Amino acid sequence: MNRAFTKILAIFWKDLLNEFRTKEIIVSVLVFILLVLVIFNFAFDTGTGASDTVASGILWVALTFGGVIGLNRTFAIEKENSRLEGLMLCPVDRSVIYWGKLAGIFTFMLVIAVVITPVFLALFNLPIFLPRLALIIILALLGFSAVGTLFSALAVNTRSRDIMLPVLLLPVVVPVIVSAVKATGPVLAGMPWGEISTWLQIMVAFDIIYLVIATLVFEYVIEE
């Protein structure tokens, strides 16, 4: 168990180091999400402030689309330099590779969310300090990354892989998106916990279910 953890950490560290040096994923996705927010401002003509439901929808569409682009990049990089083969030659269990990649992807998504959410809240004139929103973001991004890691490893070996990932991923993560949007609205409006607890529970259940399933089936996705 402990050895597996060290190996997961090694794969995670490799991805982190690569991102530090190239800054390929985080920066480009951040710019993209910022652009989505700007476009939404025009699309909905939000003026000085958006209603809580519209604002929560905007945040999650932006994070979802940005997430898909980020996910596509993480495995495309591995593919370009045949690094995926190298990773598979490592004497580790396939599930270790999954958890290593997941840790990297989840961390990138979190960093992106940490930077972009205050910007979003400021742009739409919403209260900036929302600790409960952080919890929603963590749970939603974990579920998104859990399925996303599995599907991007799969999509990278198909033709027209850039479109394959969203086509597969978005229908499956519908429960996460619905829950995140429904929980974010009341948080932005400053409503009590009772309004959001059910949605948090759904996300926790989704995260657990898909972390287990993805761990089990990941070996079939990258075996050659």
Partner 1 sequence: MDNNHTVRNLILWGLGFALMVAALSMVFVYVPTEKESGIVQRIFYFHVPVAWVSFLAFFITFISSILYLRKRTTKWDAIGCASAEIGVIFTTLVLITGPIWAKPAWGIWWTWDARLTTSLVLWLIYIGYLLVRSLATDSARGARYSAVIGIVGFIDVPIVFFTVNLWRTQHPTTIIFEGGLENSMLITLLVCLAAFTVLYVILVMQSTSLKTMEAEIKHMKNIQSD
61 binds partner 1 (CB under 8 A): no
Please choose, out of 11-19, 66-74, 124-132, 157-165, the segment that lies near partner 1 by the rule CB under 8 A.
157-165
Q: Is 21 in the site for partner 1 (CB under 8 A)?
A: no
State the minimum distance, in angstroms, from the CB of residue 168 to partner 1. 4
* Residue 214 makes contact with partner 1 by CB under 8 A: yes
Nearer to partner 1, 46 or 145 (CB): 145
Question: Is 2 within 8 Å of 95 (Cβ atoms)?
Answer: no
Number of residues binding to partner 1, judged by CB under 8 A: 30
Q: What are phi and psi of 90, to 5 degrees?
A: -60, 140
Closest CA to 46 of 112, 121, 106, 97: 121
210 near partner 1, rule: CB under 8 A: yes
168 touching partner 1, by CB under 8 A: yes
175 binds partner 1 (CB under 8 A): yes
Give the long-range contacts of residues 198-207, CB within 8 A, separation 24 or more. 199/136, 200/135, 200/136, 200/139, 202/175, 203/136, 203/139, 203/140, 203/143, 203/175, 203/176, 203/179, 204/139, 206/143, 206/175, 206/176, 206/179, 207/139, 207/142, 207/143, 207/146
Separation of first and last alpha carbons in the chain? 26
- Contact between 82 and partner 1 by CB under 8 A: the answer reads no
* 150 part of the interface to partner 1, by CB under 8 A: yes
- Contacts with partner 1 by CB under 8 A lie at 147, 150, 154, 157-160, 164, 167-168, 170-172, 174-175, 178-179, 182, 198, 202, 205-206, 209-210, 213-214, 217, 220-221, 223
